[in-house]
Structure 1
């Protein structure tokens, strides 16, 4: 759950992923993705206010489509949303007091959910990276071109004044988390086995929030050739996203896989009251249940009495992945965007910066840093779309 207040200390006049409180006074706004903890204050009144002030919100085309659907924006208010996509920088100018300021903005793929990005902010004084919620494979860090530069014909990581970092799982209890591909293989095998046993069998995916498990829907649908029945409130938004549109349905009779109910509803399947409970298997993809468990041995577990199957599935980076990210880029400072409720913010920020300070000068200048020791002990490169029962 994001605790970031929205303001970038080094760059006055902009707000990111928070739209209330002191953010009222910002001149430019940015949204990394459409999850509610990043959208506080982002309501119809917000769009009316920035329309009246000739201001703009920047986000990806997918996030824009979701916002239009959620808030039923008219054409005037739609025009307050400007899209940024790909990895090409744009230059934004805005008024801050009596000054006109210029800011170069590049969006960075975040690997969190469809439409999710981070932001690279650069002006004459500062270079700031705001990750948003993210999960990027350690091996892919060197492939993100906007985060690197060419020095004497050598490609090296850019130096950042501050990285505003998704620290959801910067916690030693989540040192390793399986990749989403590993988790998906577990889910695919169980779903395929269950629906093959009896023509009446149905699978319920118990997912948190309205938006978030889209990657799971896409890959599960591709692997099994089954559309996922989703909530009515998200169906229209999903149909605007090409990679999702062919994977989802709003017809409960069309699918044996349902993600159409709110979490923790335990009284059957609302959309199919004809299906008795003994034919329903519930699968729970989540990470928090796996706190401090040894994931090198198992990433899933059964509660067969309740016909519930739990799989460790995370769209956020693990502790070790975050540590590798910090040591790879070695910024001057780190600002945690998610602070756990059991620790003081300044103490938590100090822990992060201790990781940074522990990186020696030689380590930070060695851009062939061996990141393999930060990986999950469960490594498997097979393609989820080609899984078999023998996997």
Structure 2
């Protein structure tokens, strides 16, 4: 496969066609209103929403990919100038409105790029997408490479389906009938959560004006409002959601209308010794938890159960609940997906995750390629025991829409040769005697220590959005020189 042909969620110049899986900011790093490097292929919903994010974008560059439909591209090799045909099929990835999964087929073989996705067993849209993908693969010899959303490619992540987590949020709201409720959400995503809350409780939900515009473009039911007098439940941007906000709201109205917050995420949070007036920051997960125990606002200590999401929501602040609602597949769902696709090789698209584990480590046994040496090397490098408790794991949600914790890997790394002369870089795990407690922000958070193995940590605000990318792909290939059309 040649470079400089197609880019997926990468926006540097040099490619001849660009594919956007969805509009979350970690997938649009480098994309802007003035971007004009080539045709941009995306779903119809993404095309409809894109002008909100990039108001002056040249819409003539957009090429629509229809879900479940195969499209034909006429490609030209930069090295030989010969023309070849590539078919691209899109599937609903069920991550957020407009998100897609891409299946590329041609002389090079078959490549599946999942983008961010969540295919739950109880989700009708996911069931349809699975059936469509299975049908599309029937005539193929198999998938050569899967580029996988490995956000939660760790057995520690065992959170429930989104409908179950949404019911947990509903129960929290119902159990606080005299409280105002604020829910931290992204600029896109979690719409089904809000719809389920509104439907079950028969209420309207406040959203900020730009979010209301998105809801209208998505054609959602008329249950959203910008009038705060019409509802006690408000959905607010994540960057404005925090302990300081909740404390301020409760100080302003301590008796008439107290306020609680709900944070929906597959990411659990650990926080200790938050001083009064401090902004809640630092989103860290270790694989060693205890049961939740809410404390006062001046001395917050949070513990969580080892198996995320199988228990009740967590209280990590006097006024804030964490609900295990995630738009990324959990470990079991990823395993089922790999069993369905049976790829020869597997690559993770989360390449700078705070807790990167090469997907072949856990899923290599499910791949059809003859790679026992590679998998064994990964096991030797990580020196991990395949138990529910993964020593030293620190794995927050990787989307920059969801968090902004950045952990830099140790400079020491091992290069593991893979088939096709590709190279994966993994960080070694230190021995148990070398596990150090890393102290973050000593002036403000002296009591917060997170045990790490093979990682160095830098502290960022946990709820404000960052402008750095969280995912990347080396899927730079193909050469579409004609506008795509249905075949």
Q: Structure 1 length as normaliser, TM-score? A: 0.74
Instruction: Report the counterpart of residue 264 of structure 2 in structure 1.
Output: 285
The question of 1:131 aligning with 2:117 is answered no
Instruction: Report the counterpart of residue 307 of structure 2 in structure 1.
Output: 294
Structure 1 residues 131-178: Cα deviation after superposition (integer angstroms, max 9, x where no partner): 110010247568634322499xxx79972111110000001321x120
The question of 1:266 aligning with 2:248 is answered no
Asked if 2 retains the 8 angstrom alpha-carbon contact of 1:168 and 1:316, the reply is: yes
Instruction: Report the counterpart of residue 310 of structure 1 in structure 2.
Output: 322
User: Relative to 1, partners in 2 of residues 1:342 and 1:61: Cα closer, same or farther, differing over 3 Å?
Assistant: closer
Instruction: Report the counterpart of residue 247 of structure 1 in structure 2.
Output: 223
* TM superposition shift of 1:251: 2.2
User: Relative to 1, partners in 2 of residues 1:122 and 1:214: Cα closer, same or farther, differing over 3 Å?
Assistant: same
Instruction: Report the counterpart of residue 381 of structure 1 in structure 2.
Output: none
* TM superposition shift of 1:118: 0.7
User: Relative to 1, partners in 2 of residues 1:57 and 1:340: Cα closer, same or farther, differing over 3 Å?
Assistant: closer
Rounded Cα–Cα distance in structure 2 between residues aligned with 1:205 and 1:226? 14
Show the 5 A alignment for 1:344-363: 348-352=358-362, 354-357=364-367
User: Relative to 1, partners in 2 of residues 1:267 and 1:90: Cα closer, same or farther, differing over 3 Å?
Assistant: same
1:166 is matched with which residue: 132, 135, 149?
A: 149
Rounded Cα–Cα distance in structure 2 between residues aligned with 1:133 and 1:57? 18
The question of 1:41 aligning with 2:30 is answered yes
Show the 5 A alignment for 1:192-271: 192-195=174-177, 198=178, 201-207=179-185, 209-243=186-220, 246-261=222-237, 262-264=240-242, 266-268=244-246
Secondary structure (helix, strand or coil) at the match of 2:181 reads: strand
Asked if 2 retains the 8 angstrom alpha-carbon contact of 1:27 and 1:96, the reply is: no
1:330 is matched with which residue: 339, 342, 347?
A: 342
Secondary structure (helix, strand or coil) at the match of 2:244 reads: coil
- Structure number with the bigger relative contact order (C-alpha 8 A, sep ≥ 6) is 2
Rounded Cα–Cα distance in structure 2 between residues aligned with 1:341 and 1:324? 22
* TM superposition shift of 1:338: 1.0
Asked if 1 retains the 8 angstrom alpha-carbon contact of 2:92 and 2:129, the reply is: no
User: Relative to 1, partners in 2 of residues 1:297 and 1:314: Cα closer, same or farther, differing over 3 Å?
Assistant: closer
Instruction: Report the counterpart of residue 121 of structure 1 in structure 2.
Output: 104
* TM superposition shift of 1:256: 1.5
Instruction: Report the counterpart of residue 485 of structure 2 in structure 1.
Output: none
* TM superposition shift of 1:350: 4.2
Give the number of aligned pairs. Answer: 329
The question of 1:17 aligning with 2:5 is answered no
Rounded Cα–Cα distance in structure 2 between residues aligned with 1:322 and 1:11? 28
User: Relative to 1, partners in 2 of residues 1:248 and 1:95: Cα closer, same or farther, differing over 3 Å?
Assistant: farther
Structure 1 residues 161-204: Cα deviation after superposition (integer angstroms, max 9, x where no partner): 11110000001321x12000110111112212323xx3xx3110
Show the 5 A alignment for 1:133-148: 133-138=116-121, 144-148=130-134
Secondary structure (helix, strand or coil) at the match of 1:204 reads: strand
* TM superposition shift of 1:306: 1.6
Asked if 1 retains the 8 angstrom alpha-carbon contact of 2:4 and 2:16, the reply is: no
Asked if 2 retains the 8 angstrom alpha-carbon contact of 1:30 and 1:58, the reply is: yes
Instruction: Report the counterpart of residue 162 of structure 2 in structure 1.
Output: 180
The question of 1:83 aligning with 2:64 is answered yes
1:29 is matched with which residue: 18, 26, 34?
A: 18
Show the 5 A alignment for 1:65-76: 65-73=48-56
User: Relative to 1, partners in 2 of residues 1:349 and 1:181: Cα closer, same or farther, differing over 3 Å?
Assistant: closer
| Runs of 5+ consecutive residues of structure 2 not aligned to the other structure | 270-284, 288-305, 371-487
User: Relative to 1, partners in 2 of residues 1:225 and 1:269: Cα closer, same or farther, differing over 3 Å?
Assistant: farther
Q: Structure 2 length as normaliser, TM-score? A: 0.60
The structure where helix makes up a greater share of residues is: 1
Asked if 1 retains the 8 angstrom alpha-carbon contact of 2:147 and 2:346, the reply is: yes
Asked if 2 retains the 8 angstrom alpha-carbon contact of 1:148 and 1:158, the reply is: no
Asked if 2 retains the 8 angstrom alpha-carbon contact of 1:103 and 1:121, the reply is: yes
Asked if 2 retains the 8 angstrom alpha-carbon contact of 1:177 and 1:312, the reply is: yes
